[in-house]
Amino acid sequence: MVEYDFPPFRPPNEASSALIRVTRGCPWNRCLFCTMYKTLSFQPRPLKEVKKDIDTAVHIYPRARTVFIADSDSLAMKDSEQIIRHIRTRFPHAERITSYARATTLMRLGAARLAKLRQAGLTRVHVGLESGDAETLAFLRKGATPQDMIAGGTAAKAAGLELSFYVLIGAGGKDRLTEHAVGSALVCNAVNPDFIRLRTLIVQHGSLLEEKMNAGQYRPTAPSEKLSEVKLFLEHLDVQDCELASDHHTNTIWVDTTIVYQGIHGMLPLEKNHMMEVLNQTLQRLSQARGEVLDATIMYERGMITSL
Ligand code: SF4
């Protein structure tokens, strides 16, 4: 049996990537909505072990053209440059090497240190923006302000890295819907990420957010409100050469058993009008629906979706 430390999570678009676990868990681990690493204490892995895994990964993923570094915030590790160089050596044909990173980590590392990681072979960072609204970020205990998100994202871009921002639809609930949508667009405008990826918040069983929701401190949005939020976000977006993707099943909306929405996709600003049209048509369809309108939150509550 091959000994290999498979990371438990990766972004959806890294499904075909060779996965290299450099750390275990999340050094922050306090976001109210996140249950990913709740039972795990953060642990950097020894350089020797990681290098051994990279050597093994060449055989596990012989056709991989992309490599993803896990878990949630590995770039701050003292050995990260050496690890990335080793990945580059063992996967010489890799088209991209990417990692999750917290905005505060990118901010702390700064453009000069990030440029060294870029030179070593890192090409892209995936950052959970979640929201550009200060109150929403504080409520969710994200541990970063909109200014931190801008500073971290800007440092990554200045270092020559591609930047993928994840925006969490529903993060502000009913009460901060407008501020969350507009604030998130303004942070994206300030940084101009290469990718914006939308995923929809599901209040997971056992999460701290569920406790807040049960105490009436968070009011989740209905399916049509989620679409209105995406529309407001898109209306305020003013970015160039940026790909917007909704590459997660949590974005899906059904009428009875028919899927009527799977998110918007396209290049900005080129395809903005088309994406607005998709949203307007879906909103109209939902307003006239005779059947039951369902989103991933409702499906999760009913036990019809279990894995997020
Ligand atoms: S969302 Fe990211 S930063 Fe927050 S606890 Fe989860 S892994 Fe850590």
Q: What is the pLDDT of residues 132-173, one digit of tens each?
A: 999 999 999 999 999 999 999 999 999 999 999 999 999 999
For residue 291, the CA-to-ligand 1 centroid distance in Å is 36
Which residue CA neighbors atom 8 of ligand 1 most closely?
29
Q: Considering only 84-93, 157-166, 246-255, 298-307, which range has the smallest mean pLDDT? A: 298-307
Q: Does the beta carbon of 36 sit less than 6 angstroms from any atom of ligand 1?
A: yes
For residue 68, the CA-to-ligand 1 centroid distance in Å is 17
Q: Does the beta carbon of 56 sit less than 6 angstroms from any atom of ligand 1?
A: no
Q: Considering only 107-121, 158-172, 293-307, which range has the smallest mean pLDDT? A: 293-307
For residue 37, the CA-to-ligand 1 centroid distance in Å is 8
Residue 2 has pLDDT above 70, yes or no: no
| pTM for the whole structure | 0.96
Which residue CA neighbors atom 2 of ligand 1 most closely?
72
What is the predicted pLDDT for the residue at 157? 98
Alpha helix (H) ranges present in 8-96?
A: 47-60, 80-90
Strands (E), the chain: 18-21, 23-24, 43-44, 66-70, 96-100, 124-130, 162-169, 195-200, 242-245, 253-255, 258-261, 266-268, 293-295
